[in-house]
Each structure stands twice: as structure tokens, then as C-alpha cells.
Amino acid sequence: MHWRFLEGGELSYSRSISWCKCCTAYPRVVRSSKEVVDLPGLGPKLFKMIDEFLKDGEIKEARRAINSPRFGVLSLFSTIYGIGPSTARRLYDQGNRTFEDLERYYNEWERKNGKPSGMREALVLRDDLAQKIPRAEVEEMVEAICKHLDSIQEGFQHTMCGGYRRGKEYSNDVDIVFSRPGIDPKQDRGMCQALVTRLQEAGLVTHVMLLSSFTSQHSPFSRFSTSSQGIDTLDTALTVFKFHGEGRVHRRLDLIFAPWNVYWTAVVGWTGSTQFERDLRIWAKQERGMKFDCSGITRVHNSEQVFVHSEEEVFQVLGLPWIDPTMRNANA
DNA sequence: TTACATATT
DNA sequence: AATAT
DNA sequence: GTAA
Ligand SMILES: [Mg+2]
Ligand SMILES: [Mg+2]
């Protein structure tokens, strides 16, 4: 699956693999592809693969990918922040095979272009960011961050989202959604920036990868700006966090500030998983004629926004039963 | 045959 | 193109 | 690759 992502065209298998992974939550012995015909998303090609695995103990296509040196290098390069499939392929095609190759490549690039590429820092951070974060450390981070937020402005609620909320023992990063109940979002504009600055001053945030520019203040077309409903996009910061002291590791930290009236859609949107969000959007569009994303739910025909007051209500409005975060884990 | 999630930078 | 879920 |  990862191979297809790196080489392009991952849409083919991703949904099928997701359904297979769903089943790992309910393990059972499968003696033949006949026993999985009832699973959605699986067809003739996957049945053949399952039977091939049962017969040979492996799958030729998977073996080819694992043994491919190119696959190994592309996978490795993709673990660097800012390098995706396309750049990884280009770097490989230009002859790079190791991180040392990339250091040389970007040193040379910066010498020629006379400006920083940002990639040397990404290379330095890579080893730290590749390490998974135990739940206890996620909680430690959130406590420290909330303490700083509280010193700027009291009254914020927060939910830890991402893989942590889906119950994973280890997280790749930390995602926190904030909001102040009942407060006009205009009043809290700039809080994301303020918190990031405070954490930088405290030496806890070491890098800011992205700070969403809250430029989308009022689109010139929003005639209903009198209504206090913030249609604006969420204030988001993608950062790197590190505690003081020995033995501490850089961690990716995402801070999201949502207007109170879209707090719970933001929580659903940032809880994931990726595949769950995709399916939720498809369901909303096809079955309910609605558009779902983390900054709100809208009716497609009149773009009228539907506000909800709890996470349960997000599912009610979409005509779905409650789905526990731990049941949203399917990812290819 | 077509769609496959969607937003921001 | 890369990031986020 | 799968489903509508
Ligand atoms: Mg996460
Ligand atoms: Mg994140």
C-alpha cells in the first residue's frame, strides 16, 4: 500500500486494505477467500491475493515492493518533514540514497542559491520526529501547554485529538483543539499566534512549521457578516515542541483554535483517522446532501450552516450512530 | 464509465 | 506539492 | 481496485 502511495496511484488498494485492517480488531482464522466475500471493498483481485498468501505464505507483489531498493529509499526520504512522494522520487532519480546524500545535496543547493532551504533543519529534526510519543508524554505536553494558555486567557476548553484520542498507545504527534465556550470568536482572534509566541518565549516551541494566516476575515461576498457566526477557517499552528532538560525529544505539535459553534466538528475532524474522515465526507455528501469538514457542516443546496452542540450531535445530524473514537481507526 | 475527501499554505 | 485529519 |  505504502509503495503505491510513494509511486502514485494509491487510491486503488487503500479502501480494500482499510477494510482488512478493520478486521484485525476482530481476529479470526481465514482459511479461504470464500470466508471474506461478505466484506465490502474486497473484490476478485484481493481474493486472489488472500488465497496466494494462504498457499505460499507471501504475496509476490508485496515481496517485490519490500525487496525493492527504490522503495526503501523513497520510504526513508518520506519520513523527513517537507519531503513527499514527488520530491522523494526526484531526489532518488538524482542519485541520492542516504541522509548523508541529502545533507550534501541541500548544502550544495544552499551554496548555489545563497539562501536557506529549510531542509537542513528538517534533516536535523528527522530522528527525533520519527520517534513515537507515549500517552503519558502526550498528557504531560498538554498539561504544560494548557498552563501557558491559561496564563494568557482563562476559560478555554480543549480536546486532545488525533491518534491519542483513538486510543493508540503511541502517537506520531500531538493534536489539540481549543475553544472558549460561548465567546464570540472575534474576541479570541489571534489566540493561536499568542499561544505559539508564549510557548516560544518559554523555550518549549522550537520550530513553527506553519501558522495559519487568519486573513479570511470577511470574504467580500459574505453579506451576513452581521451574524456573529464565525465562518472563518480555524486558526491552526503546526509546530515542534521540546521539553527542557536531558533526554527530551522534539515532538510535532498541532494547535487548533475553533470558534465555539464549530468546536465539535473540529474535534471530529481532527480525531480522524484519515480513512474515517474520507468516508464521513462521502457519507455526508451522498446520503445527506451535506458537506462536512472540521470547520463545520453545511447543506449543499443552500450552503446553510448546521451548528451542533456536541460530538454526538455531529453524528445525529449526519444520520449516523455514535461511533467511538477507538472505532475510527481504519487507515490503509 | 465514473468517482474515489478536502482544506490550507 | 506537502501538510493535516 | 471496487462499487454504483
Ligand atoms: Mg496526529
Ligand atoms: Mg498532527
pLDDT at site A130? 98
DSSP string, A109-131: HHHHHSS--SHHHHHHHHHHHTS
Q: Which tops the pLDDT comparison, A223 or A44?
A: A44
A219 alpha carbon to ligand 1 midpoint, in Å? 30
Q: Which tops the pLDDT comparison, A15 or A267?
A: A267
* Minimum mean pLDDT range among A89-103, A161-175, A192-206, A212-226: A212-226
pLDDT at site A15? 75
Provide mean pLDDT across the span A296-313: 94
Q: Which ranges of chain A would DSSP assign to H, the alpha helix?
A: 2-7, 11-23, 44-56, 60-67, 69-78, 85-93, 99-113, 119-129, 135-152, 162-165, 191-201, 263-271, 274-288, 311-317
**Cis upstream peptide for A219 (omega within 30°):** no
Q: Which ligand is nearest to the CA of A165?
A: 1
Query: Among chain A residues 31 through 90, which have CB within 7 angstroms of nucleic chain B?
Result: none
> Nearest Cα to A32, choosing from A50, A46, A20, A19?
A50
The Å distance, CA of A198 to C1' of B3, is 45
Which nucleotide is closest, CA of A279 to its C1'? B5
pLDDT at site A219? 42
Q: Which residues touch strand D (CB under 7 A)?
A: A 11-13, 15-16, 40-47
pLDDT at site A32? 83
- Closest residue (CA) to C1' of nucleotide B8 is A212
pLDDT at site A23? 67
**Edge-to-edge strands of the sheet including A174-179?**
A157-160, A174-179, A251-257, A235-241, A205-211
Strand A235-241 and strand A174-179: the pairing is unpaired
Strand D: positions under 7 A of a protein C-beta atom: 1-3
Q: Using 50, 70 and 90 to split pLDDT, how confident is the model at A108?
A: very high
A160 alpha carbon to ligand 1 midpoint, in Å? 9
The Å distance, CA of A211 to C1' of B7, is 15
Q: State pTM to two decimals.
A: 0.93
CB A71 within 8 A of CB A89: no
Q: HSE-up of A109 (CA within 13 Å, CB side)?
A: 12
Provide mean pLDDT across the span A260-273: 98
Residue A9 reports pLDDT greater than 80: no
pLDDT at site A319? 97
Residue A232 reports pLDDT greater than 70: no
Residue A321 reports pLDDT greater than 60: yes
Average pLDDT taken over every residue of chain A: 91
A280 touches strand C (CB under 7 A): no
The Å distance, CA of A246 to C1' of B5, is 42
Residue A11 reports pLDDT greater than 50: yes
- Written as nine digits, the cell of A175 is 493534536
A116 alpha carbon to ligand 1 midpoint, in Å? 28
> Nearest Cα to A278, choosing from A213, A207, A330?
A330
- pLDDT, tens digit, 9 for 90 and up, residues A140-178: 999 999 999 999 999 999 999 999 999 999 999 999 999
Which nucleotide is closest, CA of A87 to its C1'? C1
Cα distances (angstroms) measured from residue A139 to each of A127, A143, A204: 22, 6, 15
- Closest residue (CA) to C1' of nucleotide B5 is A278
Which one-letter amino acid corresponds to residue A120? R
pLDDT at site A39? 85
Model ipTM value: 0.96
Residue A230 reports pLDDT greater than 60: no
Cα distances (angstroms) measured from residue A92 to each of A66, A70, A85, A125, A251: 17, 8, 10, 21, 27
pLDDT at site A147? 98
Domains of chain A: 2-127 (no CATH), 133-268 (3.30.460.10), 272-327 (3.30.210.10)
pLDDT at site A307? 96
pLDDT at site A225? 38
Cα distances (angstroms) measured from residue A298 to each of A184, A293, A306: 20, 9, 6
The Å distance, CA of A245 to C1' of B5, is 41
pLDDT at site A31? 85
Q: Using 50, 70 and 90 to split pLDDT, how confident is the model at A72?
A: very high
The Å distance, CA of A150 to C1' of D3, is 50
The Å distance, CA of A243 to C1' of B4, is 41
